[in-house]
Amino acid sequence: MQKLFKLIIPVLGLAFIVGSCQKDRSVDLASEVVPQNIIDQIARMGFNPDGIERVEEGYRIERDIIITEEFLSENPTRHIVPNQEQYSTNNLVSTNGSRVITMYAPEGGRNGYSAGMIAGLDLAIARYNSENLEISFQRVTSSGGADISMTRLSKRDERRGVLGSAGFPTASGDPYGQIKMSGILESTYGLSTGGIATIIAHEMGHCIGFRHTDWFDRSISCGGSTSNEGTAGVGANHIPGTPTGATLSAKSWMLACTDGGNRPFNNDDQTALDYLY
């Protein structure tokens, strides 16, 4: 019985934290004071403005999507909301047929990642590379010039259960350059390498232009009441060949919320990756 509890609690813990942080949103807003004009602007862009958080890079929406000040100033318009599955942003990474995206993550120490977290990153990279896409990823051990740097979230965010965050590709066709990733997925939550790889691959997905599979109704993966993330100025373009309607059972890697489990690319995920890249 004791063993059973040890296996189950971390996963329940994640699910609980995801739920409880959503309830804490008003507290975050009050304590971090996002200006009303920014909230209005984000709402006009089509994002769900509930729970915007001020973070180092700009503003964090829906717990893992980063909107920079620069992006806010470039994207004033509102877009129509469709209702189908597998979605990309308007901006994608330009490949010119083939492009290697380098990734750096600090190893060890208080502000680096454990060997288990690095193994998760390597598995995430291997999953993309085994799809034989026009983009591939390569981990580099020097931060200089890396296309995407993966760095630790604040200790406060890690403790309250934020898993990771990233943004979307730039207008000039580069991937978003920074993933903020929790460093305690293995040590505190006990996630498997596959579970860690799933979360990192999810944030990499945002960096190359993937929206959430269930962005139109986050309750599909997050539970709770129906919640639409909006099209957000960045676009939510249905990817041809993928089905309408998201389900939790299909376990897309781009579902908005995770239970900490392993979600390798399913058939529709592979169709979407192959279409874009």
**Residues at the contact surface with Zn ion, assessed by CB under 5 A:** 64
Q: In terms of CB distance, is 133 or 200 closer to Zn ion? A: 200
Q: In terms of CB distance, is 64 or 85 closer to Zn ion? A: 64
Pairing outcome for strands 87-88 and 99-104: unpaired
Q: In terms of CB distance, is 36 or 226 closer to Zn ion? A: 226
**Shortest separation between residue 269's beta carbon and Zn ion, angstroms:** 14
Q: In terms of CB distance, is 64 or 158 closer to Zn ion? A: 64
**Shortest separation between residue 83's beta carbon and Zn ion, angstroms:** 19
Q: Write the DSSP string, the chain.
A: -HHHHHHHHHHHHHHHHHHHHHHTHHHHHHHH---HHHHHHHHHTT---TT-EEETTEEEETTTEEE-HHHHHH----------S-EE-S-----TT-EEEEEE--BSSTTSB-HHHHHHHHHHHHHHHTT--SEEEEEES--TT-SEEEEEPPHHHHHTT--EEB----TTSPPP-EEEE-S-TTTTT---HHHHHHHHHHHHHHHTTB--TTTT-THHHH-SS------TTT--EEPTTSPSS--STT--TT-S---S------HHHHHHHHHH-
Of all residues in this chain, which one has the CB nearest to Zn ion in the complex? 64
**Shortest separation between residue 232's beta carbon and Zn ion, angstroms:** 12
Q: In terms of CB distance, is 5 or 153 closer to Zn ion? A: 153
**Shortest separation between residue 89's beta carbon and Zn ion, angstroms:** 12
Q: In terms of CB distance, is 112 or 266 closer to Zn ion? A: 266
